[in-house]
Each structure stands twice: as structure tokens, then as C-alpha cells.
Homo-oligomer: A and B are copies of this chain.
Amino acid sequence: MASSSAAATQQAAGAGALDRLLTVTHDGMERVNALILKRAESHVDMVPKLARYLIEAGGKRLRPMLTVAAAQLFGRGTGAEINYAAAVEFMHNATLLHDDVVDESDLRRGRPAARMIWGNQASVLVGDFLLGQAFMMMVEAGDINALGVLSKAATIIAEGEVFQLAKARDLETTADDYGQVIHAKTATLFAAAAEVGAMAGGADAAGREALRVYGEELGLAFQLVDDVLDYRGEAGTLGKNTGDDLREGKMTLPVILALADANPAERDIIAAALGKDETPDGVMAQVVAIFNRHRSLDRTVEQADAHVRKARAALETLPASEMRTLLSDIADFYVGRAY
């Protein structure tokens, strides 16, 4: 694990890179945001209300920004990247709507989840609407190969979500199972977002593959950090409570690593809290203490670090440029969040 001062330097560099990336992709992202709002419209009132509630709560729009940045990296944006970026964001938001129904989540991005306001039914159906719109925008961009990348991603994401559901509360879940889940549910969309951006930018096969790998490794790092923050974050910063994953029975790497090394008493404490909505914060503090005793959070961050290195390595096959440096540096920002 990096020393804390090295980590601080890494995070500061990453944050600076993120600011610069926001600046250089600003024009493209303005067009993406306008398209997102336009395509969330419908003569059925509830559709834009629910969609906008979720979309405008925002987050950093990392996935569509990845698409726009990848297109710019290869120099000639054809305009298709705007459609792909909006489509990627719609696919992501459709997944969030369905996830919140599946997980019975109360909060999302620091606000009540859409299902708490409009109900599970509308969340399922508006998710379907966003997915349909995502495919329409891809079709309008006109490249069937990019459609192939994104439709395959949609399938793998859903398959990964089912796998995660099947593994919920399963104490025998392995690190390999977990790797499959995060590869499917997170890394696949990051990889697709970067790959179709590269395609829109006119990348050759090698460039396309480099961006695919970059996105995939970045996505894996991102999810590992997210799973650490579930136990380390201050309540509210992620719009959820510390330990929500455990309460929902999600077998993430910190739990899996801790269970592998835990003594029987520790194992019992974790098992008793797993999948129990009503687990009190005091018990959750005990669980986190067990995690710390076995360094399961730190070891998860170390794995995220390894994926960041692979993401950076993938970019090094490409000619040096300002954008390449930015993409390389923002990877650190996401892992930096975990320190």
C-alpha cells in the first residue's frame, strides 16, 4: 500500500487531471447533456419527471466523459461520440433504476431513490424506456459495430447482475466470483464507453483495443474503490450509509477477504450482519474493525491500484499526447478516493 503522503500526492495529481479533463471535454459534454435532456422527453409526463430526477442528481458523468475524451484522443470526433456518450449514460441510469428496485435501496446519489417517489413499477418501466432510447441514439449514429459493442455490454451487465443476485448472502462466494461480478456489472460499461468513443474518433483496431482495456481496468479499479468506500466513506458522501452493501447481502471483496482470514467468532459476527437490513451501526463498527484487523479494505485498495497500473499501461501503446496524459492521470483520482 502507498504511504499516506504518497497517496495524498497521487490523489492531488488525479484531482488536477480531472479538472483539466472536464475543461477539455467541456464542449462535447455540453452537447451530450443537451442530448440527454432532449431524449428523456416524452408525452407521458412521468417519464421525463422520473428520468430527470435521476439524471440531474448527476454524479460526475465519468462514463460519457470517457466516451467523449476517447474520441478526442484520436483526433477527429465525427459527432457519433455525442450519441454514444448519451447512450452510455442512459444505459447506466437504466441499470441504476433497476438496481434500486432489485436492492430495495432507499437512497441514490444522496437523495431518495426514484422508486421511493414514483414506485418500483415506474422505475422498472422508465429504465426500459431509457434503454430503448439508448439503442435509438446508437442507431442514429449509424455504426453497427458500435451497436455490437454496446448491445453486448447490455447483455453482460444484466447477466452479471443476476449472478450477483444469485451470490447474495452466500458465504462461500470466492474472490473469483466477485471478479466476475464487477467485471460484468461495472468494467464492461466503462470498457464499452471508451471503446465506442475511440471508434467515433477514428481509432484503428489497436487504438480501439487499447481504449477498451483502459476502460475495463479503470472500471475494475473504480468498483473496487466503491466497495471500499461503502465501509470507509462518511455517511452521505455517496448518498448511502456505511455498510449498506453488507446489509443488502452483497459479497464484495472486503467481506470475502475478511471471511477467508477470520476466526470463528469474527466469522459469526460478519455472517449475522450479512443481508440484515436492521444491522445497527454499532455492529457495523465491529465488522469494520474485523476488516481492519485483516487489512481487507487496504488489500482491496491495493488490487484497485494494480488495475490502475494496467489501465495506464494500456494507454502507453499509443502516441504521447496531452489527452493521453490526462486519461492516465485521472485513473489515480478514482483510487485516491479510497485513502
**Cβ–Cβ < 8 Å partners of A131 in chain B:** 128, 131, 154, 158
The reply to whether A166 and B132 form a contact with Cβ atoms under 8 Å apart is no
The verdict on A154 contacting B128 (CB below 8 Å), with A147-B147, A162-B44, A165-B122 known, is yes
The verdict on A98 contacting B128 (CB below 8 Å), with A151-B136, A165-B121 known, is yes
The verdict on A139 contacting B148 (CB below 8 Å), with A121-B102, A122-B165 known, is yes
**Cβ–Cβ < 8 Å partners of A159 in chain B:** 42-44, 47, 129
Q: How distant is the Cα of A322 from the Cα of B68 in the complex, in angstroms?
A: 53
**Cβ–Cβ < 8 Å partners of A46 in chain B:** 162, 165-166
**Cβ–Cβ < 8 Å partners of A152 in chain B:** 132, 136
**Cβ–Cβ < 8 Å partners of A116 in chain B:** none
Interface residue tally for chain A (C-beta within 8 Å):
43
> Residue A124 contacts which of B44, B45, B101 (CB distance < 8 angstroms)?
B101
A82 close to chain B: CB less than 8 A: no
A157 close to chain B: CB less than 8 A: yes
**Cβ–Cβ < 8 Å partners of A135 in chain B:** 135, 147, 151, 154-155
Q: How distant is the Cα of A128 from the Cα of B125 in the complex, in angstroms?
A: 11
Residue of B nearest to A103 (CB): B121
**Could you list 8 A-B pairs, sorted by A, with CB under 8 Å?**
A44-B163, A45-B166, A98-B125, A124-B124, A125-B165, A132-B157, A136-B155, A139-B151
- A interface, CB within 8 angstroms of B: 42-47, 94, 98, 101-102, 120-122, 124-126, 128-129, 131-133, 135-136, 138-140, 142, 144, 147-148, 151-152, 154-159, 161-163, 165-166
